[in-house]
């Protein structure tokens, strides 16, 4: 089996146990080792990242581990290599970590998450990406919308509506991002609750730095905040109380939450469209080809246009 042959080529010895895990962008497997341990193998999607970009992700993870952050970082072989090749494949290996999803309605857990992100950003302040992308409206917004309109993803009638909504929405997103003079730092980039495994000892293990990027600190915070305004305000307080124990936060960046949320919604649809030739995506997102999905997507963009005009959350 190519997966096992690839891993054996690195010096680790597999025992034949292998099972696919739930992952769309890359191919991820749980693999048994002869010593009884289980490792996680991530095979990178061909053509998405350059070697330099991947190695920069790994270096960032190493820096975080060196500062005692609970990051699940790629393992190194006897030569100190973390990015491996076998035939056409590029892959890396991780220790398996157990845990559950964090409780986002638990103030104590949110404070722990806030402290952890604050510590992460302290390290990020000393790090610089030369090859990773930026969190910006052109890449996540304009490029994504253009791709959708140029593809066959949208039915013709809905494409006209989508274009009209986008033409109104994206200039507002650009204006609101430009209005805040935020500092760009190195980020996890895709920090949502699914990328934390809450350990039995209360440690939030951080994983999946595949979308590491440069951008505003808010990008690593806003996905832990949800619900109606009063509830979201309280949860934001829990999160930032913890964050402030280790790093200052520029409260002007709270005005970026809805613009960043808008970009994520736009980019998500384009991400599926770009991967639609992959059978795994067709199987995982069958609703994407239905008119109902696009009706709901367009409605969510209209709601985001209204949300942009609402006052920002405060701390």
The answer to whether the Cα torsion of 48, 53, 56, 58 is positive or negative is positive
Rounded Cα distance between 106 and 204, Å, is 13
Residue 239 counted as domain residue: yes
124 and 209 in a single domain? The answer is: yes
> pLDDT (tens digit, 9 = 90+) per residue, 200-239?
999 999 999 999 999 999 999 999 998 999 999 999 999 9
Beta strands in the chain (DSSP E): 14-20, 27-33, 38-43, 84-86, 89-95, 185-187, 196-198, 204-206, 213-215
pLDDT digits (tens, 9 = 90+) for 58-107: 999 999 999 999 999 999 999 999 999 999 999 999 999 989 999 999 99
* Same domain for 289 and 146: yes
Active site residue 77: no
Domain boundary among 95, 123, 150: 95
Average pLDDT over residues 271-279: 94
Average confidence score pLDDT of the chain: 96
Indicate yes or no: pTM above 0.85.
yes
Q: How far is Cα 24 from Cα 158, in angstroms, rounded to an integer?
A: 27
Residue 100 lies in a domain: no
Q: What is the pLDDT of residue 260?
A: 99
At residue 36, the pLDDT reads 93
Q: Are residues 56 and 130 in the same domain?
A: no
pLDDT at 111: 98
Q: Domain limits at 38?
A: 2-95
Considering the domain architecture, whether residues 167 and 41 belong to the same structural domain is answered as no
Helix 257-274 and helix 156-178: axis angle, to 10°? 140
pLDDT band at residue 311 under the 50/70/90 scheme: very high
Task: Report pLDDT for 115.
Answer: 98
Do 209 and 149 share a domain, yes or no?
yes
**315 in any annotated domain:** no
**Contact residues for 177 (Cβ-Cβ < 8 A; gap 6+):** 136, 137, 256, 259
CATH number at residue 111: 1.10.510.10
pLDDT at residue 152, rounded to an integer: 86
Give yes or no: residues 165 and 289 share one domain: yes
> Do 199 and 99 touch, CB atoms closer than 8 A?
yes
pLDDT above 90: percentage of residues in the chain: 93
Number of domains the chain is built from: 2
Domain boundary (95, 122, 138) is at 95
Choose the weakest-confidence range: 149-163, 178-192, 202-216, 299-313: 149-163
Active site residue 190: yes
Is residue 313 one of the residues assigned to a domain? no
Check pLDDT > 80 for residue 1. Answer: no
| Whether residue 162 sits in one domain with residue 47 | no
CATH number of the domain encompassing residue 59: 3.30.200.20
Catalytic entry in 190, 210, 220, 238: 190
d(CA 47, CA 117): 30
Looking at 45, 75, 95, the residue that finishes a domain is 95
CA 284 – CA 314 distance, rounded (Å): 37
Please identify which of the residues 136, 208, 220, 238 carries the catalytic annotation: 208
């Amino acid at each position: 089996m190519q997966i096992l042959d690839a891993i054996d080529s690195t010096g680790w010895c597999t025992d034949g146990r292998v099972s696919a895990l739930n992952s769309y962008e890359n191919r991820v497997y749980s693999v048994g080792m002869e010593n009884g341990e289980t490792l996680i193998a991530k095979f990178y999607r061909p053509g998405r990242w350059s070697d330099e970009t991947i190695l920069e992700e790994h270096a960032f993870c190493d820096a975080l581990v060196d500062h005692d952050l609970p990051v699940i970082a790629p393992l190194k072989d006897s030569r100190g290599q973390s990015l491996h090749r076998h035939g056409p494949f590029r892959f890396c290996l991780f220790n398996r970590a157990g845990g559950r999803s964090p409780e986002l309605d638990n103030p104590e857990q949110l404070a722990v998450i806030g402290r952890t992100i604050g510590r992460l950003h302290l390290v990020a302040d000393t790090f610089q990406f030369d090859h990773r992308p930026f969190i910006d409206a052109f890449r996540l917004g304009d490029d994504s919308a253009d791709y959708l309109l140029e593809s066959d993803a949208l039915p013709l009638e809905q494409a006209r509506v989508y274009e009209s909504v986008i033409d109104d929405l994206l200039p507002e997103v650009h204006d609101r991002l430009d209005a805040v003079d935020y500092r760009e730092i190195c980020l996890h980039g895709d920090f949502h609750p699914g990328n934390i495994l809450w350990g039995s000892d209360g440690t939030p293990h951080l994983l999946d730095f595949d979308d590491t990027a440069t951008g505003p600190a808010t990008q690593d915070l806003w996905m832990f905040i949800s619900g109606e305004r009063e509830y979201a305000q309280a949860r934001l307080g829990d999160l930032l109380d913890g964050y402030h124990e280790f790093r200052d936060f520029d409260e002007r960046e709270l005005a970026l939450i809805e613009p960043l949320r808008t970009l994520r919604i736009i980019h998500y649809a384009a991400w599926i469209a770009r991967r639609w030739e992959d059978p795994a995506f067709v199987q995982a997102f069958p609703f994407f080809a239905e008119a109902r999905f696009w009706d709901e997507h367009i409605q969510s963009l209209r709601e985001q246009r209204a949300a942009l005009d609402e006052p920002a959350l405060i701390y």
